[in-house]
Every structure is written in structure tokens, then in C-alpha cells.
Chain A
């Protein structure tokens, strides 16, 4: 069972209160983009064993989308943060670098 802190209402929400929203920080490529960019945006996803960045929604709660950094192997939740950002906050990255030295996720390390 996962307990994830919703950064908007501060609740330690149990998994069934949440809805998983897939990989975080995807950059959208629209109709005028190259085939490669569009394919990457549409289909290519990270599938790490370890540190992962995801979107979640507190669907049975305040209703807000937010971001979470989580280990797909141990299910440890490192932290959650606002949806209104394109990258993880620095203090969370510092936590990750300390807890999981050498982790790499797309261009984040």
C-alpha cells in the first residue's frame, strides 16, 4: 500500500484515494513537430527500477494533480511537489542524491 502526501491538502493519502497519472515532466509536441519528437512524446516512457517521477491526482480528495518522486522497487516515496512546475524542486533532488547516489532519470541526475 502506498501513502502519498498530497502537497495541496496535506493529507497522507492512501493509494485508493489517488489516481496515477503516468510519467512526470513530459514535454508536449504538437502537430507541427517532427515525427521523432511526436513519437517520443506519445510513446516513449521511462520504465526505471528505482527512482521515478510521476504525476498523481488526489481524485477522492481535493481533486488536485501533483508530482511525486518514488522508488518503483521499494515503493519509498521521496517527496511530492506542485503540478505547476516543469522540473523537480532542488531540495527533493538533494534528498534523492543523498539517498540514491548516482541515480539517473532522463536528463536528471
Chain B
């Protein structure tokens, strides 16, 4: 298989947090009624996770599902498996009112690592990032500065951010500015 051509060639930045463009995250968009039992069991069969509730995530190792809207989920898996899993899910949902498409190459994914990640995100998105309001297990679709984005926390010190590939350079730029060592606000004390 040919190499994955990343939008920014795996760019990284070290500041208040470590920022890294992730190499090849498999992403499959599913549109359909997420409460439909046929869809729920098909996703469980192919991606190994139960579709999460409103604004929640579900993970099993490298596979996962993110709640995007009442009729949309973003399914995660290793990059090289995305096409096959999308086809498999599509076949299982034949006849159901649903759409499945591999969007791995349409997106860029950044990982933030460090205790300051809440602050780095809070500077860019109109989202309450306090530990009482946003926790691992949740996903948030929003904007970051001027572009659409979605992010979730894998644990207290790790977050992943997804945006359109076409704005990857912009996203990396604003994240790097927000994580500049000289820009600490120290708003979140835990």
C-alpha cells in the first residue's frame, strides 16, 4: 500500500502542550438514525463498539465511535482498515436508511498532550473547558477560531482534534499560537 500523505507531513509543536499531527487516522462517517437497532448492531459488528449517547464517545482500543448529531456518528479505526470496514458496514446496512463513507483523507487529526490542554482549547473554542463541564468520554463539535472542528479527550492530559484537511495548516497555526510558552493564562488550576 502507498504511504499516507499527511496534510502537514506530521507537523509537531512543543509549548504549553505538545501538538502532533497524527499519521493516518481511519475515519468513517455514518449518517442514519443512531437509535435504530439495525444500525446499532451493524456498528457493533464492524467497529466493535456500541454507538455512544448524545455528545459521548465509545472506544475499544484503536476503534471508536463519536456522537456527531442525532443522525451522524464518526467511526474510528486504523487508517488501513477504514475502506474495508466502511464497505462492510455499508453492506450490512443495505436496505436501511443510512449512508456510510470513508472520510479518512478528508480530515486532519491533531493530538494535544499536556496538562495545559484545557487552556489551549479554551482560547480557541466557545466551549466551557472546566473539568466540571468537559471530561474524557465527551466529544464536542464546535469551531476553533474560524474553522469547524471536533475534539475529545482520551484522558486528562490527552485530546484529539479533527478538522477538514483543507484547513489543517490554519488549525496547526492557531493551536501553536494558543500553546505558545509565553501565552500561559493558568486559568484551569487542576
Docked pose: A10 CA to B148 CA in angstroms: 18
Q: Quick one: CB contact mask for A11-54 with B, threshold 8 Å, 1 for yes?
A: 10110110000000000000000000000000000000000000
Distance in angstroms from A5 CB to nearest chain B CB is: 13
Residues of B within 8 A of A11 (CB): 55, 140
**A62 and B141 contact, Cβ closer than 8 Å, known pairs A11-B55, A14-B126:** yes
Q: Tell me how many residue pairs across A and B have CB atoms closer than 8 Å.
A: 34
Task: Judge whether B143 and A9 touch: CB under 8 Å.
Answer: no
Residues of B within 8 A of A60 (CB): 141-143, 148
Instruction: Give the residues from 48 to 72 in chain B that come closer than 8 angstroms, CB to CB, to chain A.
Output: 54-55, 68-70, 72
Interface of B is mostly: strand
Task: Judge whether B69 and A8 touch: CB under 8 Å.
Answer: yes
Interface size for B (C-beta < 8 A) is 12
Asked if A63 is at the interface of the complex by the 8 Å CB criterion, the answer is yes
Q: Which residue of A9, A13, A63 is within 8 Å of B54 (Cβ)?
A: A9
Q: Which residues of B contact A (CB under 8 A)?
A: 54-55, 68-70, 72, 126, 140-143, 148
List 9 A-B pairs, minimum CB-CB distance, nearest first. Answer: A62-B69, A14-B126, A60-B143, A61-B141, A8-B70, A60-B142, A60-B148, A16-B126, A63-B69
List 18 A-B residue pairs with CB atoms under 8 Å apart, sorted by A's residue number: A9-B54, A9-B55, A9-B69, A13-B126, A14-B126, A16-B143, A17-B126, A17-B142, A17-B143, A60-B141, A60-B148, A61-B141, A62-B68, A62-B70, A62-B72, A63-B69, A63-B72, A63-B141
